[in-house]
Chain A
Amino acid sequence: MPDAHRLTVNGRDHEVRCPDGTPLLWVLRDRLGLTGTRYGCGVGSCGACTVWVDGQPTHSCDTPIWSAAGKSVVTVEGLTEAGPHPVQRHLIDGQAGQCGYCLSGIVMRAAALVDQAHAEGRHVEGDEVRAALDGHLCRCGAHNRIVDAVVSAGGE
């Protein structure tokens, strides 16, 4: 009998039954219907599956459900609930993407970066954004537009 795991996702409490080692990614997509979090590699190499766990950008594909239990998870859907985050608005304004498959993971990483810089009373800079996004792969070559959009979101 699979174990029951309790976690909070986008502010709502859930109990899911699945094997202990099940990656958070598949719990989100399969059990909670939150398909905005993408599967890209399953082993922490591409960033497509990034969500926040207790506020920290985290690869949901290599986060076993037991380690997310009792924690608060935010997905791209949750981030968007109260209206698009500035990072999302600037990505759209700057038409920063082509196929877009990499974007929800990038949004989660970049939004955390921008929010933290704001909390510290400063604006993010290009090199800092490139460094923060270095674990995120984009095959379409939208990198420069993405960096520019995040920097301008940070300037708000």
Chain B
Amino acid sequence: MPSCPPGASDVPAKPGNPSLAAAPLIGDWLDFTHEGIVRARTGKSELGQGIATALVQIVADALAVDVDSVELAPPDTSGPDETFTAGSLSVQHSGGALHAASTQARQLFTDAARRRLGAEPSLAEGRFVVDDASVSYADLAAEVDLAVAIDPTIASYDPSGIVGADLPRLDLADKVLGRPRYVQDMRLPGMRFARMVRRPARGARLVDVDEESALGIAGVTDVVRDGDLLAVVAEDEIAARAGAEALRESAQWQVPDSSLSDGDMVEQLTTADTDDTALSDGPSIDAPTLAARYTRPFLAHASIGPACAVAVQEEGLLRIWSHTQGVHPLRRDIARALDRPVDRVQVTHVEGAGCYGHNPADDVAYDAALLAARLPGRPVQVTWTREDELGWSPFGPAMVVDLAAETNADGQVTAWSWDGFGNGHSSRPGTLPTPSLLAYEEQQDGTPIPPAGDPPQAAGAGTGRNAIPGYEVGSVRAVAHRALTMPIRSSAMRSLGAHLNVFAIESHLDDLARHHGIDPVEYRLRHLGDPRGRVVLERAAQESGWGSPLAEGHGRGIGYARYKGTGAWCAAVVEVEAVSSVRVVRAWLAADCGRIVNPDGAVNQLEGGAVQSLSWTLLERVRFAGGRVLSDTWEEYPILHFSEVPPVEVALVERPDEPWLGAGEASMGPTAAAVGNAVADALGVRVRDLPITAEAIVAAMDS
């Protein structure tokens, strides 16, 4: 059995830049026909990470035009198919494609300008100039053929200084000023508002419902029932909410018995039937110096804005507006679920709240699509409730990691072994044998969503992401055991398996360092050959004042990884105050993301990632029992509050001549590891089961 279904991947494992393979021509990306405006296209979604701004900078820099004259269209299924906005690859892939396309276009336009003006032109403010004569890109557009294959190896022009500058985010002012910008703010003429009435538990069957209970409410226009799918459509949210409430009260469900709960996840995952993939086939270790098990629970993306989408069935075309991470794969899965040709479905990206991976954005898009398909000509907006957002989203999978290491008398690691157990990290639309859209499993003729797959190793793996240490540790054995049964739906969440794997590796290394009486930073450096990694590690240690005395009850810890082994390098140091519970006092990050498009944007992403990782690592756990998610309110699923967020200092290692690397996921693993190591430093107790709550500390002390 293959390690994942065809196409199950956060990123396609094609050589080179997959974005160029999908959209090979300059004209796929750029349009110069409007005076004073360069129109650029991308398949990567703005998720609050600032990608749209970075891409505009790349285009403006390469074309030597003003940033204000670059218009980046939101991703749409008429544009480049760049699959998913995932894996911290948007700058590499979309940015790489736009950079090459723009550079080559500039060359072609320069040639055309030379012909038109009769001499070698200079380029200033978007105009080609020879003496007193000048022409613009638009003036020449008719004579420049852009149906030309992009050469990804094209030599760059001298930078214009736009890449590398702190350009303010192009979308942020609207958001601060409360202007309509999100899909939640869309209002189309005649639009209806719908709410879904989701099952009380996984596998529940709808036995009966009094549709009149909702239809009798002023403003309610339709009740849609299809198998176990139940929805109400109304003239406004107020009526839709009331209608949904009435349906919920009158619906009778048959709930199957399910004994699964989050409490027995470790047992479940380590005894389940699995699909095993050897990532590295070193020998197993007979007499390890240290062997230990590390775990994390299921985690929720927990967006602040519940999922929302708008759809309308026009003549022959189903149009959908969605905050999806991948307009093309979503379109294909919706077409498949509704059994219609792909070209009769159009998906356009509209911003929503941050998603941090595969959250219900795609599910709600299908909710809207299927309701719109039944109400031709009527735009329908569907908004999920907070409870459904926290209860029915795909979750970042629970994981169990067994590590063993052997060291010699000098403390040097000579053999390493990793076994990773868990559900797959990707059930994104279009990657599974049947549609991966929640409502499809509720519909009469639908099918349950199959267990999640894992991206192939070449695309960074899932359970196995960052499983292989970036250190020199002798022989390495690494086997991923993907569970073939799925208690609750799992899918991609920021950094995938790297969160627990880096936590485990770095905890293990710290314990080995302590065992051999060597300082943790020194111990890592002894095992780290990668020069860029060494710089980052040393920088974080230096910024944090590593080795300086700490207050009573405080501890300090470090964590390091190169994301996916191929991405950005990041090290984190965390200082905690740990008595019975843990308070993070301060955090320091150092990172090397290669050449940086927008330094302030990279810092923002690295810091945001660290804060989110602190929240996962200290507080978060999806709880479920009897097929029901119990942690479906903010009280039951707490995240880090303002008063709990420590100051975070970020140092970027500048590498202007190296390729750019994404920053969004690099800090998740190192931050988690630094917290665990800081707690161990403060208390002398190693907590290996996340989250590191007061209870987990007590449990670790007891064992």
Contact = CB atoms under 8 A, between A and B. Distances in A.
Contacts of B49: 98
B184 A92 contact: no
Contact of A41 (B47, B173, B193, B386): B386
A141 B644 CA distance: 11
Nearest to B613: A141
Given A30-B238, A101-B305, A88 B48 contact: no
A114 interface: no
Query: Closest 4 interchain pairs by CB?
Result: A36-B178, A99-B48, A100-B175, A141-B611
A142 B641 CA distance: 11
A97 B351 CA distance: 14
B271 interface: no
Interface string A89-119: 0011001011111111001000000000000
Given A2-B218, A46-B304, A100-B171, A88 B612 contact: no
Contacts of B79: none
B590 to A, nearest CB: 17
Contacts of A152: none
B176 interface: yes
B306 interface: yes
Contacts of A43: 386, 633
Interface residues of B, number: 62
A110 B47 CA distance: 25
Nearest to A40: B304
Nearest to B46: A99
Contacts of A100: 48, 171-172, 175-176, 181
B169 A95 contact: yes
Interface string A4-16: 0000000000000
B26 to A, nearest CB: 32
B608 interface: yes
Contacts of A95: 166, 168-169, 172, 600-601, 604
A77 B635 CA distance: 30
B218 A45 contact: no
A68 interface: no
A146 B518 CA distance: 40
Measured as residues with beta carbon below 8 angstroms from the partner, the interface class of chain A is 35 or more
A69 interface: no
Contacts of B237: 26, 29-30
Interface string A142-153: 111111000000
Contacts of A26: 236-238, 241
A51 B611 CA distance: 27
B185 interface: yes
A134 interface: yes
A45 B633 contact: yes
B23 interface: no
A48 to B, nearest CB: 6
B353 interface: yes
Q: Is chain B's interface secondary structure helix, strand, loop, or mixed overall?
A: loop
Given A92-B172, A133-B642, A37 B305 contact: no
B647 interface: yes
A144 B187 contact: no
A146 B176 CA distance: 11
Contacts of B352: 99, 101
Contacts of B634: 41, 45-46, 137
B369 to A, nearest CB: 21
Contacts of B610: 141
B386 A139 contact: no
Interface in B619-644: 633-635, 639-643
A67 interface: no
Contacts of B238: 18-19, 22, 26-27, 30-31
B462 interface: no
B50 interface: yes
A102 B383 CA distance: 17
B179 interface: yes
A77 B633 contact: no
B65 interface: no
Contacts of A37: 178
A144 B173 contact: no
Nearest to A21: B242
B178 A139 contact: no
Nearest to A61: B386
B510 to A, nearest CB: 25
Contacts of A88: 176-177
B310 to A, nearest CB: 13
A27 B239 CA distance: 11
B261 interface: no
27 contacts: A18-B238, A19-B238, A35-B182, A35-B185, A35-B187, A36-B177, A39-B184, A40-B386, A84-B177, A92-B172, A92-B173, A95-B172, A97-B176, A98-B49, A99-B353, A100-B48, A100-B171, A100-B176, A101-B304, A133-B642, A136-B642, A138-B304, A139-B304, A139-B354, A143-B611, A144-B647, A146-B642
